[in-house]
Structure 1
Amino acid sequence: MSETSSAATATPPNTAAPGTTVAVTGAEGFIGSHLVEALVATGHRVRAMVQYNSFSSFGWLETLPNDVMAHVEVVLGDVRDPGSVGGLLRGTEAVYHLAALIAIPYSYRAPHSYVETNVTGTLNVLEAVRHLEIPRLVHTSTSEIYGTAQTVPITEDHPVNTQSPYAASKAGGDRLADSYHAGFGTPVVTLRPFNTFGPRQSMRAVIPTVIGQVAAGQTTITLGDLRPTRDFTFVKDTAAAFLAVGTAPAADVVGRTFNAGTGGEISVGDLVALVGKLMDTPLDVREDAQRVRPADAEVMRLVCDASRLRAATGWAPAHTLEGGLEHTIAFFRDPANLARYKTDLYNV
């Protein structure tokens, strides 16, 4: 996102102080539910959008303690509907926009749905923030927009190289956020997390795939390519990064994009070996062809430079990779949690 804006004629006020009401889209999901917890823990009231479903399921929010949910208003809706978004945001002091379709393999099967949610949904949020004059919007990007690293570590100035429909749709949302800040002075800040992991993550991601299979008693693990390297950030640290950019003085963050990651790097193969060690289980890893991305689509290397975020807000990860993995392993070893997953199926 551009660092300056000629159209932003006034500095937006600081926002989202404890006690204020904030909105979270995608609140029922993996990162969203952890962010809701973090917001409540810091004294906020949360209006949480959960995608409408006929089961009245609140997703992972249903697992949060009653003393947390006492400060949460769940709103069933859909970011693809402008009226739904407007109703959610009215009367809030900040918006954390996390709602998205995120599974990379599925984006090849259903690319239109990714555009509708990740681009049009983001447009609806931007329009509502603009017309309702919400003081702060935190827009969620992804490290996938960079594609395979051309230089490391990856700064926010790294070229955009979208290698999947998912990445392209997220880049489209980013560009809309840029344009609304430049053209309307909309108080947007973009957070670009690298690979987040932890309790509640879906089996579409590599860490829960490995841990879930081992927790279910399997020692032969099926995966895709073991060569790519990633910068894995524990989910509580990612939630803290959202809070950091959502509550920092406007002059320090509005109109800017921030990477959030550890600066560490590990290959999928070495990650599997580490999980096996921590779970005290020798693993036999086998490649599953349906899990392998097309040759030109695989992002081979991602490693984060988060120095801009650290300088602006003081944020730094508080968890090591091993520490985060231990928390995640404990979560999946709880039979009640493991029962929520289908560890024997490939989750796209």
Structure 2
Amino acid sequence: MSTHPDYLAHYRGLLVLVTGAEGFIGSTLVEELLAAGARVRALCHYKPYRERGFLAAYEHDDRVEFIAGDVRDANVVDNAVSGVDIVFHLAALIGIPYSYQAPDSYLQTNVIGTHNVLAACRRHSVRLVHTSTSEVYGTARVVPIPETHPLQPQSPYSASKIAADSIVMSYWHSFGTPVAICRPFNTYGPRQSARAVIPAILRQLHAGQREIRLGSLSPTRDFTFGTDTARGFLAIGASEEALGLALNLGTGNEISIGTLVDKLIRISGHDARVVLDDTRLRPAGSEVERLLADNTEVKRLTGWNPEISLNDGLARTWEWITTAPVHAGAPSYAR
């Protein structure tokens, strides 16, 4: 149980829009909202085969209304926002490596899509919680990283998110649109796509591979379990003090990728060794070497506090990998 459950009670009886709802974090957030007594309107990326991603179990649940569409379509977004009490905007293109190949796609989805959501929230007088990323900080100049840290676009993905964050804040300053920015550090856990480092390693171990192929082992990351991140969204969405602010969501602890893989090998109980793979390295000047959250402000303003330790979270993720070995994985456009 959370030590600060009052922000969960805030959502009882509300109608909440979640964009990117079928993805890893999005679906976890939907389940937390339902547990808190909310009704959810789920905007999912249109697919002709009606795939609901990780929300398939809620296909016939009266508490969940599905809308198929694309945040790049202003009309779809406007219809989705109409009549809701609050919007959690998670829909985005998020794969950093693909952003080197298709930067225009990231601008269209992450920037234009966010503007469509903002304009609809302004039109309908609806509060917005926008999803940022710790990647906007780039390689840390100071640690732990406060929200006042300079923004450094070290990939087309991070540049698109910096632009989106700026547009969000412009609506707060220009129009008084009630907005808050949630800036998660590295979220992990069950349902995460195999493109991410933790499930990628665990899937290799589960498949019995003796060599784990990785790029750089020196970068450090601040890993937050999925349900903790989802609760952070809810805490920020319920806080009047969070309006007009960007708030970090992270544990305040860091681990290097090299140490992480050693830990994952031990958790799996398998024998494996790490093999450096140059094809997995980011372009020179693009690798973010260190991410460590200063979470002081979000704790002070909202009462949120991460509850799942890294060891516990990794064990839960390994259990998910081994007990449900076939997963479609979170789509690249949904968190």
Normalization by structure 1: what TM-score?
0.90
Alpha-carbon distance between aligned partners in 2 of 1:144 and 1:174, rounded to the nearest angstrom: 12
Give the superposed CA RMSD: 1.4
Runs (5+) with no aligned partner, structure 1: 1-14, 343-348
Offset of 1:282 from its aligned partner? 2.4
Paired residue total: 321
Distance 1:295 1:308, change over 3 A: same
Q: Which residue of 1 aligns with 2:90?
A: 98
Counterpart of 1:129 in 2: which secondary structure? helix
Counterpart of 1:124 in 2: which secondary structure? helix
One-letter amino acid of the structure 2 residue matched with residue 94 of structure 1: I
Offset of 1:284 from its aligned partner? 1.0
1:266 matched to 2:255: yes
Offset of 1:246 from its aligned partner? 1.0
Q: Which residue of 1 aligns with 2:26?
A: 32
Question: Structure 2 residue aligned with 1:141, among 103, 128, 132?
Answer: 132
Question: Structure 2 residue aligned with 1:282, among 252, 255, 271?
Answer: 271
1:339 matched to 2:320: no
1:218 matched to 2:205: no
Question: Structure 2 residue aligned with 1:257, among 243, 246, 255?
Answer: 246
The correspondence of residues 188-203 of structure 1 with structure 2, limited to 5 A, is 188-203=179-194
Alpha-carbon distance between aligned partners in 1 of 2:22 and 2:210, rounded to the nearest angstrom: 31
Alpha-carbon distance between aligned partners in 1 of 2:62 and 2:11, rounded to the nearest angstrom: 19
Alpha-carbon distance between aligned partners in 1 of 2:299 and 2:221, rounded to the nearest angstrom: 20
1:235 matched to 2:255: no
Counterpart of 1:333 in 2: which secondary structure? helix
Alpha-carbon distance between aligned partners in 1 of 2:328 and 2:53, rounded to the nearest angstrom: 13
Q: Which residue of 1 aligns with 2:124?
A: 132
Contact 2:42 2:65 in 1 (8 A): yes
Deviation track 1:160-182 (CA, whole Å, cap 9, x = no partner) reads: 01100000000000000010000
The correspondence of residues 1-348 of structure 1 with structure 2, limited to 5 A, is 17-62=11-56, 64=57, 69-134=61-126, 136-248=127-239, 250=240, 252-334=241-323, 337-340=324-327
Counterpart of 2:182 in 1: which secondary structure? strand
Q: Which residue of 1 aligns with 2:3?
A: none
One-letter amino acid of the structure 1 residue matched with residue 37 of structure 2: G
Offset of 1:253 from its aligned partner? 1.1
Q: Which residue of 2 aligns with 1:8?
A: none
Offset of 1:212 from its aligned partner? 1.0
Alpha-carbon distance between aligned partners in 2 of 1:191 and 1:56, rounded to the nearest angstrom: 29
Counterpart of 2:98 in 1: which secondary structure? helix
Offset of 1:219 from its aligned partner? 2.3
Contact 2:58 2:64 in 1 (8 A): no
Counterpart of 1:338 in 2: which secondary structure? coil
Deviation track 1:41-84 (CA, whole Å, cap 9, x = no partner) reads: 0000000000001111111111x4679x4411111011000000
Of 154-163 and 15-24, the range deviating more from structure 2: 15-24
Alpha-carbon distance between aligned partners in 2 of 1:221 and 1:215, rounded to the nearest angstrom: 11
Alpha-carbon distance between aligned partners in 2 of 1:308 and 1:224, rounded to the nearest angstrom: 33
Counterpart of 1:339 in 2: which secondary structure? coil
Runs (5+) with no aligned partner, structure 2: 1-8, 330-335
Structure 1 stretches of 4+ moved >6 Å: none
